[in-house]
Amino acid sequence: MRKLLRHSLIAAGLSAAIAAPLAVAHFDDKEPLQSWRQSYFALLAANFGPIGAMVKGEAPWDEAKLKAYAEDLEHISEVDALRFFAPGSDKGQTRAKPEIWNNMQDFSDKYAALQRAADTLEDVVEDSAGDRKAVAQAFGEVGKACKACHDDYKAKNYLY
Ligand code: HEC
């Protein structure tokens, strides 16, 4: 019975994969830069999200986890993500607006702002993870840095 269930779940998963190839195409060999940057942001979000859940009270406050997420977020933000926006990577399966390539300095400044905010959040968590207000404030600044860039440079839907 259990085995049967597992098989039908696998079958359902497979048919979903066949029916919606775009939604599951996490890595496209023909568009490595687009794929890398999307994977990069997904990883950033994988650490940002759980901190947000704790700050909002949607997940239990756990200082060890908080430290691990804040540390990873800071490390990930140190990656030179601008290399994933090299010239010629503006088209394809992407939500990156064309404005990026005309405003690379501003885009890069907005990335630097995220790096600073993630660095500050890690310091605050390191020094006073118990101070939930301070953590929430520093987390809010990271969120603002994400949003400032998304507002100008990320489309809601795929562009091409
Ligand atoms: C300097 C600009 C910039 C900053 C800062 C930034 N993003 Fe993004 N983000 C983008 C762009 C541009 C895309 C679209 C990439 C594409 O589709 O090729 C994107 C895409 C994403 C995606 C979708 C990834 C996917 O699977 O396609 C997520 C999730 C995301 N960002 C989360 C975040 C979070 C969380 C932060 C802050 C911690 C953040 N971003 C900070 C520019 C930025």
Q: How far is CA 103 from CA 20, 35, 99, 143, in A?
A: 34, 21, 6, 22
From the CA atom positions of the chain, what is the Rg in Å?
Answer: 19
Name which residue sits closest to atom 30 of ligand 1, judged by CA.
Answer: 41
Q: Place 26 in a pLDDT band, splitting at 50, 70 and 90.
A: confident
- pLDDT tens for 59-80 read 999 999 999 999 999 999 999 9
Name which residue sits closest to atom 2 of ligand 1, judged by CA.
Answer: 149
- pLDDT tens for 148-160 read 999 999 999 999 9
With a 6 A CB cut-off, is 96 part of the ligand 1 pocket? yes
Residue whose token pair is 């600044």: 141
- pLDDT tens for 83-127 read 999 999 999 999 999 999 999 999 999 999 999 999 999 999 999
Residues 25 and 94: their CA atoms lie apart, in Å, by 12
CB 111 within 8 A of CB 82: yes
Whether the pLDDT of residue 133 is over 60: the answer is yes
Residues 5 and 134: their CA atoms lie apart, in Å, by 47
